[in-house]
Amino acid sequence: MNSKQSNRRRFLKDGAVLAGLAVGAMSTTGAKALAAEADIKLKDIKIHAYGERSRFVTSERPAASMDMGEGGGGGYGFMGRTPVYSTPLQDLLGTITPASLHFVESHGYDPPDIDPSGHRLMIHGMVNRPLIFTMEELKRLPSISRIHLLECQANGRNQGDRKSDTLIETTGRTSCTEWTGVPLPLLLKEAGVHKDASWIVSEGLDGSKYTKSLPLAKATEDVIVAYGQNGEPLRPENGFPLRLIVPGFEGLNNVKWLRRIKVVDELYLARLEVSRYMNYSDPKARYFNFEMGPKSVITRPAGGQKLAGPGFYQITGLAWSGGGAIKKVEVSTDGGSTWKDAEITGPVHRIAHTRFGLAWKWNGEETVLMSRCTDDVGQVQPTIAEYAKFWGFTVQDLQNGKNGFGHFNAIQPWKISQDRSVHNAIFS
């Protein structure tokens, strides 16, 4: 018996497979609803040359004002001007984030309205052959496409400040799309990097000429000078027409509206690097923390949602790591006492959102759901206590909003109450 026959035999063995499935049973009400819908005179809707959503689909990325930190503005000089737009993870299906819902943080300025025909990229500094490219020239060069997440280093940082209760508040500053562009190593090779160079400094064309240093070792590894996102040109707020993609590193390294890359032999200590993104408070004096750790979150049921009632639910969520591909996700439905391996239900890519699921029957009693991931370099997502200890805080500090530098990647607990509501169990 071949494997297809075997599958077929197993399939034909009758028996409902979803224990406790409280949905789908044929009823008079259901049959009437089905018949009624077919009878409705459906209105045709227009097909657009560039398609639009159904009017019944209304997901948005809400704007929240950026946390300026102690001292108000903290060296920005533009306090209050920068809203953060978060991805509504609770609405996402699968692993790809639509470009229209990608999270946005821009350090003080709205996206510039750049005409790509006038845009240039300069590569200069410690190189043998300084180069300037038009967009058309870049598009003639070899390109690669990679599905990668971006995550703000402050994603989850402000749980304590705000007593964040919903999924989008705790975790909405991450998104995952397919990026297309020229490998930066190819451009640097073409320019001819001096042997004693050790950093690059990238500059954007936003109002602040946002500037960021990056170790040359990473720049010559897997960085992309990207012009494409999910099959089309970058969106304005995601860096149109050109940006860096620095896989696995804090979002702030992925310089948008990229216009210059200078090859240098030292860290440049640009304004925001010094005023905002050095970690003075780290007891181990790790001034910069580039790579994002392994992280996962249950997106349904999650904070801010309400269950329909006891019965069958597929728990689902996203896992990712700045260090590699997700290898395993475990889920606990009893506050961490026991764990089960979740199923990986979608494509798996290196440094990308990975969708997981686990069948669960809710008995109507209060409980806490958690997820924990492991990546393919062996990193395991930490507990809140482990996370706090690693960065030199206590869990109480965290609850009080003193959780320091960010990089929040602790296990996120969601409390299901008897009233069917779901809340952030860090505070409730």
| Positions in 8-67 near its own copies (CB under 8 A) | 8, 11-12, 14-18, 21, 23-27, 30-31, 33-34, 36-38, 40, 42-57, 59-63
| Positions in 226-285 near its own copies (CB under 8 A) | 227-233, 235-238, 240-241, 259-260
Size of the site for its own copies (CB under 8 A): 138
CB of 336 to its own copies, least distance (A): 23
CB of 333 to its own copies, least distance (A): 15
Contact 208, 142 (CB under 8 A): no
| Positions in 136-175 near its own copies (CB under 8 A) | 136-137, 140-147
In 3D space, the residue among 346, 371, 374, 342 whose CA is nearest the CA of residue 357 turns out to be 342
Contact 91, 60 (CB under 8 A): no
In 3D space, the residue among 113, 171, 209 whose CA is nearest the CA of residue 303 turns out to be 171
Residues in contact with 90: Cβ distance below 8 Å, sequence separation at least 6, in sequence order: 166, 167, 168, 299, 300, 302, 304, 305
> Tokens in use for 327?
């290898």
CB of 173 to its own copies, least distance (A): 14
| Positions in 113-142 near its own copies (CB under 8 A) | 113-120, 122, 124, 128-134, 136-137, 140-142
| Positions in 360-419 near its own copies (CB under 8 A) | none
Q: How far is CA 280 from the centre of its chain?
A: 26
Phi-psi category of residue 299: left, alpha or beta, with phi > 0 → left and psi -120 to 50 → alpha: alpha
Q: Of 98-106, 322-330, 373-381, 387-395, which segment contacts its own copies by CB under 8 A?
A: 98-106
Among 308, 366, 378, 386, binds its own copies (CB under 8 A): 308
* Contact letters for its own copies, residues 179-218 (x by CB under 8 A): xx----xx-xxx-xx-x---------xxx-x-------x-
Contact 357, 345 (CB under 8 A): yes
Residues in contact with 315: Cβ distance below 8 Å, sequence separation at least 6, in sequence order: 298, 300, 301, 331, 333, 342, 357, 358, 359, 360, 369
Contact 155, 127 (CB under 8 A): no
Q: Which is nearer to its own copies, 107 or 349 (CB)?
A: 349
Among 67, 178, 282, 291, binds its own copies (CB under 8 A): 178
Is 109 an interacting residue with respect to its own copies (CB under 8 A)?
yes
